Structure 1
Amino acid sequence: MQAKKEEILKAHAYRRAIKEFEPEQKIKDEDFEFILEVGRRSPSSFGWEPWKFVVVQNQELRGKLSEPSWGAQKQLASASHFVILLARKGDEMRVGSDYLKYKSQVVDKLPAEIEEMKLKFFKGFMENEFDLTDDRKIFDWACKQVYLPFANMMTAAAQIGIDSCPIEGFDRAKVEEILTEAGVVDTSKLGVAAMVAFGYKKEDSPFPQSRFPMEEVVEWVR
């Protein structure tokens, strides 16, 4: 148990936001499948999994994404694997949508009475408790869910010695326009939440990892 704890903490201490990767060093297929599988198995509120992961390996498309992705200039050019994380938009996440029916009935195989109870509870949660009452609020809530697999994939990568960089530095509208023109994403249903690059760092960071001390982050209420 102690060895496992140390292994996990070592992975978190190892991880940095890598700005440039070694372009010739590629992640093995089985290693990247492992990273994606960790993302796929991540939890989500109500178990809706309101996400999709687009792995952009096409260099021409990466080039087009570079201009509106100011925070991913070097990563797009050098990363072994580049992932765009998508979140579902308002109409997809409202009770009665085809997506929620598909998830409940086909993926989760819920009995009709359980599905009805879950959807009723979710509707109350949206309208009365979390104020998910317009398209933007729903999309922002779905983006929060995306950050669960987002973080898990980076941690999993670090545990097997693969570097990564989380990216929010992009013009969402322009990126979505490029993805639509490429026929990659139906932006009436999905929007870009974040990006993440994976690979092997070109050089070590000259700066040590720094975090607030525990006593400034955690407050116990006993």
Structure 2
Amino acid sequence: MNAITETRPDVNTQIVEAFQFRHATKIFDPERKVSERDMETILEAGRLSPTSFGHEPFRILMIQSPEKRELFRPFSWGANGMMNGSAGQLGTASHFGILLAARAPLMTAGSEYLQAHYRGVKHLPEEVIEIFNGAYGKFQSSDHRITTDREITDWSGKQAYIVLANMMTAAALLGVDSCPIEGFDMERTTQVLGTEFGIDTEAWKPAVMFAFGYRAKDPEFPKTRRSMEETVTWF
């Protein structure tokens, strides 16, 4: 047994219960706020998430100002309550944010950004950096063939989704509700991020929105999924 299971012998049950608890919350209780400590833990789960090559091609943008949130309302149909006649996650969530994905200028093999990341964040010796540059260059050019800005940004977005998944799982373990949100106009969101938030949109692009808080009411229908036999194949 490892340290976690030794101190929490029922951790398997707790994990499954957390996933049963979690659902895509459309309307939050606007009067209930996630504590600073819980939100720090959720964000730390995101920060510590694994990413391909350890490149961390994401940023987490937290938007707490009601005025700033409203900038997205006209074109964020997945968060503005249009589907249920409410103020949506934009108007009711305790915490609302956007995960940004790094674009080609940052994540192309050999970029200045990556060299600085290897030295300043990963603290790699020069000979290891040379190995990383070669391996990642091969990964981009021939293994996965992700060389265009669209392909590289989509790859970064995949890493951002790992981050969001871990944040939502951490939240569920804390009894905090969440919702991933893709229902927004990509072009208009990118424009607002540039003009109103000072984001360099040549380097960063929105991947997915998210919301955390406490549900206003329980789900109307039970959670449904395919059976384990339909989902997992063993060889």
- Give secondary structure in 1 for the equivalent of 2:25: coil
TM-score, length of structure 2 as denominator length:
0.92
Query: What amino acid maps onto 2:48 in structure 1?
Result: R
Q: Which runs of 4+ in 1 moved over 2 A?
A: none
Q: Distance in 2 between matches of 1:139 and 1:149?
A: 15
- Give secondary structure in 2 for the equivalent of 1:67: helix
Alignment counterpart, residue 94 of structure 1, candidates 87, 102, 108? 108
The answer for the alignment partner of 2:85 in structure 1 is none
Q: Distance in 1 between matches of 2:171 and 2:41?
A: 9
Structure 1's unaligned 5+ residue stretches are none
TM-fit CA distance, 1:185 = 1.4
1:92-120 Cα distance to aligned partner (Å, 9 max, x none): 10122222012101111110000011111
Q: Distance in 1 between matches of 2:198 and 2:224?
A: 38
Alignment counterpart, residue 154 of structure 1, candidates 146, 168, 175? 168
Change (3 A) 1:184 1:29: farther
State how 1:1-222 maps to structure 2 within 5 Å. 1=5, 3-73=10-80, 74-221=88-235
TM-fit CA distance, 1:184 = 3.6
- Give secondary structure in 1 for the equivalent of 2:178: strand
1:18-65 Cα distance to aligned partner (Å, 9 max, x none): 000011111111110100000000000100010000000011111111
Aligned residues: 221
Q: Once superposed, what is the RMSD of the aligned Cα atoms?
A: 0.9
Q: Percent identity?
A: 43
- Give secondary structure in 2 for the equivalent of 1:84: strand
Kept after mapping to 1: 8 A contact 2:108/2:147: no
Q: Distance in 2 between matches of 1:179 and 1:86?
A: 10
Q: Distance in 1 between matches of 2:123 and 2:169?
A: 31
Structure 2's unaligned 5+ residue stretches are 81-87
